[in-house]
Amino acid sequence: MVDFQIREKEIFETLKKIKNLRLSVIGGYAVNAYTFPRFSIDCDIVVKNHEDSEEIGERLIQLGYNESKDISESPYHGNFKRYVKKISKDFAVSLDILIGEVLDRQTNATFSADWIFENSKIRTLKGKTIAEELKLRIINLDALFVMKIVSCRSTDIRDIFLLVANIKDKKWVISEISKRYSFENRLKRVKDEITSKQFKDGLQGVFGKIEDKIFEKHKKFILDLSLRK
């Protein structure tokens, strides 16, 4: 727990220093704005152009980050930069700046920076291990759900499971997913995973204990998603 707390504290301190620049938060830290906060050791932000990326990059260098060339484990490809800060001998945090678009490595699905900014606004980010709140631009829940279900890694499916109950416009969500990938394919993958025996244990390992009533409620929301409704 201590290492997560150290890393989360560092990310929050970093976001405080860059929150007024032209960026929008996506990924795991965006999830924390809408549901039970979860552990995350890195942060993903989107900018519209190289000028904004350079401005943020310069700020990160001042804060002790270094640009990293190791992007092998990133869920993204295309035009982005990764900055890493070593906190101690054992701990580091990273921040990815996605420039102009988000290009998913697994599906090649694209989300333009304009689309992300149109579907984001100033919201409150809460910590998981630290009692802090921070206001900055974050992608909205429906758009975040779209990005997560298109990517559909195991970590994304855990996020999807907890976000689904608060979707505001299901028709829009399904339409945006379908523009980029087969909605039925993604939904089947999600349903297969959430009905597996080990899913709840994995979910609680990331988000903490979740009551059976809440788990079954969210499971029903997922199982009820359909193109026909």
Q: What is the dihedral of CA 17, 22, 28, 33, to 10 degrees?
A: 80
From start to end of 4-79, where are the E strands?
Answer: 24-26, 42-47, 66-68, 76-77
- Architecture of domain 1-139 in CATH? 2-Layer Sandwich (3.30)
Average pLDDT over residues 208-227: 89
| Helix 183-194 / helix 154-163 crossing angle, nearest 10 deg | 90
H/E run at residue 102: strand 101-104
How far is it, in rounded angstroms, from Cα 56 to Cα 156? Answer: 26
Q: What is the mean pLDDT of the chain?
A: 90
Encode pLDDT of 147-186 as tens digits. Answer: 999 999 999 999 999 999 999 999 999 999 999 999 999 9
Q: Strand 92-99 vs strand 42-47: parallel, antiparallel, or unpaired? A: parallel
pLDDT of residue 72: 62
> Cα–Cα distance between 25 and 15 in angstroms, integer?
10
d(CA 101, CA 125) in angstroms, rounded, equals 23
Q: Is residue 7 very low, low, confident or very high in pLDDT (cuts 50, 70, 90)?
A: confident
pTM: 0.92
Q: What are phi and psi of 76, to 5 degrees?
A: -110, 160
- The domain locations on the chain are 1-139, 141-229
pLDDT at 13 over 70: yes
